[in-house]
Structure 1
Amino acid sequence: MDTKLTLKLNQEVIEKAKAYASDKKLSLSRLIENYLNSLTSDQPAGELEISPFVKSLSSGVKIPADYDYKKDRTDYLDQKHK
């Protein structure tokens, strides 16, 4: 059930929040509701629940820390256009 809430905030903060919400394609009310939900969540900070769909996308392949994707891409393109 939605309930009306009135807040007094700095005008500059309101304008920035409206612009941010617009960029994210959210209403300002929804943005504030999401923020308050995250503050009052029982879930420990920094721990996000990963949905089963996102888990299914993980391949489990570990990428080396020194992996040079630019070199790999260049090698691929060299082979492709020989």
Structure 2
Amino acid sequence: MNKLTLTVDPEVVQQAKAYAAQQQQSLSKLVENYLKSLPRTEHSQAPQLTGAVADLAGIISEKELEDARNYIDFLQDKYQ
């Protein structure tokens, strides 16, 4: 286990300690869990999809999406 020193506003520390106590865990564990939730690679910027959003992801092909964008552009030009 490595030790980490952070500089944090004292008010934020108090709020974090109170939250950690409510969650019945240490502030160190709270910070560790947060750090574990960060993406593991620099290239991973997209959020992880869950639930209905994950079920719907990829349902429209890139070609259909491009066609829809073109049609939206056409309608915007037509009715402006």
**Aligned-pair Cα RMSD in Å:** 2.0
Match of 2:14 in 1: 15
Match of 1:38 in 2: 37
Gaps spanning 5+ residues in structure 1: where? 49-82
Matched, 1:28 2:27: yes
> Taking structure 1 as the reference length, what is the TM-score of the superposition?
0.49
> Taking structure 2 as the reference length, what is the TM-score of the superposition?
0.51
Task: Quote the Cα distance in structure 1 between the aligned partners of 2:18 and 2:9.
Answer: 15
Shift of 1:46: 4.1
Higher-helix-fraction structure: 2
Question: Structure 2 counterpart of 1:45, which letter?
Answer: P
Gaps spanning 5+ residues in structure 2: where? 51-80
Shift of 1:39: 1.2
Task: Quote the Cα distance in structure 2 between the aligned partners of 1:7 and 1:34.
Answer: 16
* Percent of residue pairs identical: 45
Question: How many residue pairs align between the two structures?
Answer: 47
